[in-house]
């Protein structure tokens, strides 16, 4: 059972949350330009505030403190996205396997079909066939078993085949031509 001070702090924080959550989410959205991330950033900021609630409630302007936490989280998110874009650009610039006459419509069809797959199937197919990772490396990257990779890749390829109305080799060829690089799904 909590003490009277803990209960009062909880009630006070809950009121702060209700008053400022929407404003903090809007701030996160405007800072990052990502509406989906805005709620997460606001929630993360409020969680951080709850962990330091004694310090926050003693601050002269707790709302300003909260906005600062959101701004810092948004900055961290933006920096991570910039680093990721730089890594992707570096990988693309080192690619040597450019197609002479790429089948652009076929590649676009495969990309659209990939988006319709559930995440794990899509990740397995992309890592195996576009990045040419082994089953073991794919399993390590996704934190799943090799058996799960085999199963999800097989099911993903079958679903792509159904969605595209084509044979599996054609799907593999177009998946390998996606802008992530790779030449196929050979196991190493």
Tens of pLDDT, residue by residue over 1-11, are 456 656 888 89
Instruction: Give the distance, in angstroms, between the CA of residue 68 and the centroid of all CA atoms in the same chain.
Output: 24
139, 71 in Cβ contact below 8 A?
Answer: no
pLDDT for residue 44: 94
Q: Rounded distance, CA 21 to CA 45, Å? A: 9
**This model's pTM is above 0.75:** no
Q: Which residues are CB-neighbours of 111 under 8 A, at least 6 positions away?
A: 178
Give one DSSP letter per residue of 88-155, joined into a string.
HHHHHHT-----SS--HHHHHHHHHHHHHS-HHHHHHHIIIIIS---HHHHHHHHTS-HHHHHHHHHH
Rg (C-alpha) for the chain, rounded Å, is 23
139, 127 in Cβ contact below 8 A?
Answer: no
- pLDDT higher at 96 or 161: 161
Give the least confident one: 39-48, 54-63, 149-158: 54-63
Tens of pLDDT, residue by residue over 67-88, are 989 998 999 888 888 888 877 7
Q: Is a pLDDT exceeding 60 seen at residue 185? A: no
Distances (CA, A) of 139 to 62, 104, 118: 45, 30, 17
Kindly state the DSSP code that residue 185 receives in the 8-state scheme: -
What's the whole-number mean pLDDT along residues 89-106?
62
- pLDDT higher at 130 or 107: 130
Tens of pLDDT, residue by residue over 112-171, are 888 888 888 988 888 888 888 889 888 888 888 999 999 999 999 999 888 888 755 555
128, 178 in Cβ contact below 8 A?
Answer: no
pLDDT for residue 181: 41
- Give the Cβ contact number of residue 115 at 10 Å: 8
pLDDT for residue 46: 94
Q: Rounded distance, CA 46 to CA 44, Å? A: 5
pLDDT for residue 169: 59
- pLDDT higher at 86 or 24: 24
SS3 171: helix
Q: Which residue has the tokens 């990779």?
A: 149
């Amino acid at each position: 059972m909590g003490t009277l001070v803990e209960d009062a702090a909880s009630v006070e924080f809950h009121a702060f949350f209700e008053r400022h959550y929407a404003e903090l989410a809007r701030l996160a959205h405007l800072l990052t330009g990502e509406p989906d991330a805005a709620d997460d950033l606001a929630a993360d900021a409020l969680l951080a505030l709850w962990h330091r609630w004694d310090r926050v409630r003693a601050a002269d302007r707790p709302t300003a403190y909260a906005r600062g936490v959101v701004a810092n989280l948004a900055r961290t998110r933006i920096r991570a996205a910039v680093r990721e874009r730089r890594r992707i650009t570096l990988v693309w610039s080192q690619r040597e396997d450019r197609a002479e006459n790429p089948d652009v419509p076929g590649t676009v069809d495969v990309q659209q079909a990939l988006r319709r797959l559930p995440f794990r199937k899509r990740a397995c197919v992309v890592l195996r066939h576009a990045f040419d990772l082994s089953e073991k490396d794919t399993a390590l990257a996704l934190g799943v078993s090799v058996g799960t990779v085999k199963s999800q890749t097989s099911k993903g390829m079958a679903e792509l085949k159904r969605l595209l109305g084509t044979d599996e080799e054609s799907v593999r060829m177009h998946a390998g031509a996606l802008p992530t690089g790779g030449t196929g799904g050979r196991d190493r």
